[in-house]
Amino acid sequence: MTDERSSMPSDEQRSHSAAPNNGNPDDANPNEEPTNETDRTDSETTDTEGRTDADDEFTIADFHDASQQAGRPVLTAAAVARALEIPHEEASDRLETLADAGSIERLSVSTDPVVWYPSELEDLTDRERVIVFPKRREIVVDRPDQFTRAQLSQFAHLADANGEQGYRYVVRPADVWGTPHDSFDDLAQTMRQALGQRSADLEDWVESQWDRAHQFRLVTHEEGYTVLEAQSPEIMGNVARQKLDEEHVHAPISDTQDWVREGSEAAIKRILYEAGYPVQDHRELASGEALSIDLQVRLRDYQQTWVDRFGEAGEGVFVGPPGSGKTIAAMGAMARVEGETLVLVPSRDLAQQWADAILEYTTLEPEQVGQYHGGRKEVRPVTIATYQIAGMDRHRSLFDDREWGLVVFDECQHVPSDVYRRSTHLQSKHRLGLSASPIREDDRQTEIFTLVGPPIGTDWEALFDAGFVAEPELEIRYVPWGDEEQGNAYGSADGREKYRIAAKNRGKIDEVRYLLSAHPDSKALVFVDYLEQGRDLSDALDVPFVSGETPHHDRRRLLEEFRRDERDLLIISRVGDEGIDLPTADLAIIASGLGGSRRQGTQRAGRTMRPAGGALVYVLATRGTREEDFARKQLQHLGRKGLTVREQTVEGEEH
């Protein structure tokens, strides 16, 4: 939202405000009653919520609300009457009272209406303001404080964050389904605290979604098997029994209960979620063997909030930018559960990092922590395994035979992939996901919350403001062709080949060399999507190239040297997008990237998001090609989270 700032109205403004009536109801004679007003007594009128105006004190805040609705700080009594839905005469009386108190000023021209404006117009621009659009289920907030943002995060999704333009929240069904409240009344109270008002239309819609989220639940029968229960025979017959078949349930038990086939619980939850009916999971799942574990590091306040919300729900996904400490918070959840834990990760490298971190930050001993992947086969009280291994039939029994108190899905945006989804049969008592950006280009991200749990997190802007995570500077640089031959090849190519040629533009080698020389003291990562491009950069810069072809022991050695400041530059392929923690990187150069994947943009930029600050991210795009649009798309998602994105055209003579 833009602010309408002004000091005391100028003569020109006053003349305009006092212009003759041209049919605008705001310019009506203040002594005339608006024709659309119904007859009401002067002493008492009743608004749409049953309150009496006589019982309500009219304050400067009410004037600000009317100003906000009218879109200007100078109002007539008619505008106030319309905004507050009160008679014109009563609006005039209230304005007079505020003027006598010194809160507003009046300006009267003999033949024209009186106009009113705040004594201190800055009051209008400095205060927190909330505007609700019930039909669109959107909430726009200007200058929200931390309390408001914390309340909004419990039932709404932060879609856009821009300090100058305000914050735009969207209330989606999934946000209501995953709210941490025990009753709709509790949720409604949170909404009113966040909005500063009651939005009847929005609350009605939220209540309808709340009801949908409580139509089905999975429970454990006294004889040990699982039962799907519905709130009514109608919802069971019209939804569950239409969507599910013998693959999911054995037979009906009653009009509202079905006997669930063992192992089909995750599929049932996914199918009904997709039908718009999330399932409450109230099964008496095994907690596994007890495991005493304590953290040896203090959680930040927001991390503790994540853990507390997870503890209440027993499931969820920690969502926060890279560097916000999701792994540490997950260890806090492990300490809360105090049960044997299985951690699923996308790569062997990340498995090692998890094992090292658990030993560093918890009281667990080395013999209690194992890894299970292509290089090692250890099943221990805390086991870190790769998704691929956990989803393979020949290994599945090893994990099934042990009752896990907690299963952690790291980088859980992988979960909807068919190969990874097989790991979700591990339906432990507690399930926790971790993700910086739980979005997918195939739009299957809702399955993450179905198979793992609802999102739990703090908006990125709040962490930037608090200084827990530093906001990097992002810049797209449009680079000219390095030679005429490549440019001609691009012009005659088709489809995907065009993108490949633009991505491998040899002019980017000179640009990378220029950027590195411009930041000589930075620790830098150069990301590429094509092995040939990585090898060319490696040869040109005489720098190691880390890719999927790099042996694990060499990859681990190079990354460790980078962490220990023994190296200040590495070239990384897609293996660096996820599962590699590079906490001291302060410069990232994205030389090419997967056609604008939002998740990849988040992960790569996130390699510089650490508390130290001063980080820079450059995205290189070949000028005049489809790469320009891809680069914008890749960073658009980050721009909506509050990061500033600049654009720069590189001229040939610049270097």
558-600, pLDDT tens digit by residue?
888 888 889 999 998 876 555 555 545 678 888 886 444 444 4
Q: What band does 613 get if pLDDT is binned at 50, 70 and 90? A: very low
- CA 149 remoteness from chain centre: 13
* Contact in structure between 288 and 340 (CB atoms under 8 Å): yes
Q: For position 543, what pLDDT does the model report?
A: 94
Given a cut of 70, whether residue 425 has pLDDT beyond it is no
pLDDT reported for residue 32: 37
Length of the chain: 655
Distance separating alpha carbons of residues 648 and 354, to the nearest angstrom: 39
pTM of the model: 0.56
At residue 81 the predicted structure's pLDDT band, cuts being 50, 70 and 90, is confident
Closest CA to 550 of 541, 559, 542: 559
Which of the two residues, 323 and 256, has the higher pLDDT score? 256
- Compute how many other C-beta atoms are within 10 angstroms of the C-beta atom of residue 646: 11
Q: What is the pLDDT of residues 138-187, one digit of tens each?
A: 998 887 777 787 788 888 888 776 655 578 889 999 889 878 788 999 99
Answer yes or no: same fold for 11-124 and 301-463.
no
What is the mean pLDDT of the segment spanning 77-87? Answer: 84
pLDDT > 90? residue 6: no
User: Lowest-confidence range among 97-111, 216-230, 480-494?
Assistant: 97-111
What percentage of the chain reaches a pLDDT higher than 70?
A: 72
pLDDT above 50 for 117:
yes
State the fold for domain 470-654.
Answer: Rossmann fold (3.40.50)
655 pLDDT band (50/70/90 cuts)? low
How many other CB atoms are there within 10 angstroms of residue 576's CB atom?
25
pLDDT over 60 (residue 240): yes
**What single letter denotes the amino acid at residue 357?**
A
For residue 329, the cross-strand partners are: none
Domain 301-463 CATH assignment equals 3.40.50.2300: no
- At residue 616, the pLDDT reads 79
Instruction: Give the distance from CA 343 to its chain's centroid.
Output: 23
**The pair of three-digit structure tokens given for residue 309, joined into one six-digit string:** 């919300």
Gap between the Cα atoms of 324 and 612, Å rounded:
12
Residue 229, pLDDT score: 97
Whether 354 has a pLDDT exceeding 90, the answer reads yes
Give the pLDDT of residue 108.
Answer: 63
pLDDT band at 25 (very low <50, low <70, confident <90, very high): very low
- Calpha distance 53→96 (Å, rounded): 16
| Confidence class for position 304, pLDDT limits 50, 70, 90 | very high
Give the start-to-end residue ranges of the domains of the chain: 11-124, 128-212, 216-282, 301-463, 470-654
Q: What is the mean predicted confidence (pLDDT) over 598-616? A: 47
Contact 580, 477 (CB under 8 A): no
Report whether pLDDT(306) > 70.
yes
Euclidean distance between CA atoms 34 and 50, whole angstroms: 22
Checking if the pLDDT of 605 tops 60, the result is no
Higher-pLDDT residue of 139 and 32 is: 139
Give the number of other Cβ atoms within 10 Å of residue 197's Cβ. 11
- For 50, 62, 183, 198, the CA distances from 193, given in Å and listed in that order, are 20, 17, 16, 9
Q: Which residue in 350, 364, 471, 456 sits closest to 411, CA to CA?
A: 350
- The average confidence (pLDDT) of the chain is 77
> Looking at residue 366, what DSSP letter applies?
G
pLDDT of residue 399: 67
Q: Which of 522, 506, 473 is nearest to 646 (CA)?
A: 473
- What pLDDT is stored for residue 617 in this prediction? 81
Looking at the predicted structure, is the pLDDT value of residue 648 above 50? Answer: yes
pLDDT-derived band at 37 (thresholds 50, 70, 90) equals very low
Most confident stretch, 73-87, 359-373, 374-388: 359-373
Specify the pLDDT at position 42: 36
Torsion of CA 193, 198, 203, 207, to 10 degrees: 60
- 117 pairs with which residues across the strands? 105
pLDDT value of position 131: 87
* The pLDDT of residue 636 is above 80: no
* Domain 11-124 in CATH 3.40.640.10: no
What does the alpha-carbon distance between residue 508 and residue 150 come to, in Å, rounded to a whole number? Answer: 43
Which residues are CB-contacts of 114 (< 8 A; sequence separation ≥ 6)?
A: 30, 76, 77, 106, 107, 108
pLDDT per position as a tens digit, 185-199: 999 999 998 888 889
38-68, pLDDT tens digit by residue? Answer: 333 333 333 333 333 444 577 877 787 777 6
